[in-house]
Structure 1
């Protein structure tokens, strides 16, 4: 298998399930809402919509938040969402694979 084939297979296994895709969709919707709110709001602190994106990506986004640089925060949130989606996808695959195993071993 070529390197490209391995990357495609890993990507399919990590993100090609309903749990990971649903999570990424939720993060994308929250990000689009926060971006639209930031563009259309009358003043910078009009709402806390960006907090939802941060809350959805919280465990993996803490290192990027601790860095303190606003230039690292947006790409860091995207990386954190991808990392968490891959973890959720791995857990989903593990749980669904375990359910397909025959009980008596035959």
Structure 2
């Protein structure tokens, strides 16, 4: 009797495990489909930002793309200005150091 119960439990466990795997596979397939759709939408958006396939866009879509590009351009210009400012500060510090070094060398030559 114990062997029969043990076999029954093992078989039902295998059946439930099979169901769990099947449900998991369905879940993964669903996730793959959703991710594929997201990738497709992102690629389409990317192409539109590059100026491709704009013929299918409505006026509102084009307006949104233009605004997004303006914001991006503003961010790029801001970062560029920041880098220029940092570079100018570095060069000014280097200039100051070189002027001081030049003064020291001139003092050594005089003595």
Asked if these proteins are the same fold (TM beyond 0.5), I'd say no
TM-score normalized with structure 1 length? 0.36
> In terms of Rg, which structure is larger?
2
Q: Which structure's relative contact order is higher, taking Cα pairs within 8 Å and 6+ residues apart?
A: 1
TM-score normalized with structure 2 length? 0.34
